[in-house]
Chains A and B, each alone.
Chain A
Amino acid sequence: MTQQTSATPDFDTLTVGDVIAERSYELSRDSLVRYAGASGDFNSIHYRDDIATSVGLPGVIAHGMLTMGLSVQPVVDWAGDPARVADYQVRFTRPILVDPFTGATVSVTAKIGQLDAEARVARVDLTTTFNGETVLGKAQVRVTLA
């Protein structure tokens, strides 16, 4: 992945509907173990198939908070600083099943949903998909560009 230092986007050039970022992520079981350690969320449905299936899941699933955490990253890079994120919300609508061999590919598209010219805040709407289906609902990031 290329590291880039982006300047703050110019609020006045933005239009509702603009796609500001698109990215896809390859999740593996290793990604889940890494997130478990970093976050302290050691719920075993995120690394043990036997436990996951015993609670009715088809297999090991990604932490919802990992999906939320990575989905905002294209917006952070676009904004040029994580500090510009003023508000971020999601609903968790579908699990991401992470295959032990092939992992899971998660795609994120970030689009301008609303512009508040007075506050110079852009609402960026995220579409995060896995296997062609969305996994998050009402995924919205408010970014302060003033």
Chain B
Amino acid sequence: MNPALQGRAFPPTAPYLVGREKVREFARAVFATDPASFDLDAARAAGHADLVAPPTFSIVVQQLSLDQLLADPEADIDFSRVVHGDQRFTFTRPVIAGDELTGTLTVTAVKSLGAHSMVTAETVIVDAAGEHVVTSTSTLVVRGDE
């Protein structure tokens, strides 16, 4: 991996429209049971405009930004050696069906740990108005030769 990657910012991803059925599908896949993710009346009764996505849903948008990083020849990351090290989501508000989300990735850290290297990618996710929704931070571990 290229150590000069630290501080590198990528252009915003194409807008991702959060579909109501996608929220339900994702919620079922992570064993969610909260009615706010399935039942429109329940979501509205709780004060939301539409279905509320489970907390980890924004990985779908972050992945689009990570694809940019992984595809970058200058980054020189061997995808077959990548392991997910850690993950964090920091919310200003939850993701709601109907949101149009855009993620902008910055490489905030590049570290070597023996034969392995670690890259921390922070993706700031905003809505169509440009307001912050969630910051999604992934650390990827790239395994070296052993």
Q: Which A residues are closer than 8 A to B by beta carbons?
A: 1, 3, 5, 25, 31, 34-35, 37-41, 55, 64-66, 68-70, 72-73, 76-77, 80-83, 85-92, 138, 141
Contact = CB atoms under 8 A, between A and B. Distances in A.
A8 to B, nearest CB: 10
A114 to B, nearest CB: 16
B139 to A, nearest CB: 8
Interface string B34-45: 111100001000
A82 B52 contact: yes
A92 B82 CA distance: 13
Interface stretch (B23-31, B109-117, B119-127): B23-31
B31 A73 contact: yes
Contacts of A92: 83-87
B31 A77 contact: no
Given A5-B35, A76-B32, A81-B34, A65 B87 contact: yes
B32 A83 contact: no
A100 B3 CA distance: 40
Interface residues of B, number: 36
B32 A87 contact: no
B88 interface: yes
Contacts of A91: 85-86
Contact of A39 (B29, B55, B88): B29
Contacts of B128: none
Interface string B1-15: 000000000000000
A122 to B, nearest CB: 15
Given A40-B63, A73-B31, A91-B86, A85 B94 contact: yes
Interface string B75-116: 000001001111111110110000000000000000000000
B39 to A, nearest CB: 9
A87 B32 CA distance: 17
A80 B91 CA distance: 17
B87 A90 contact: yes
A101 B52 CA distance: 34
Nearest to B139: A91
A36 to B, nearest CB: 9
B17 interface: no
A68 B29 CA distance: 12
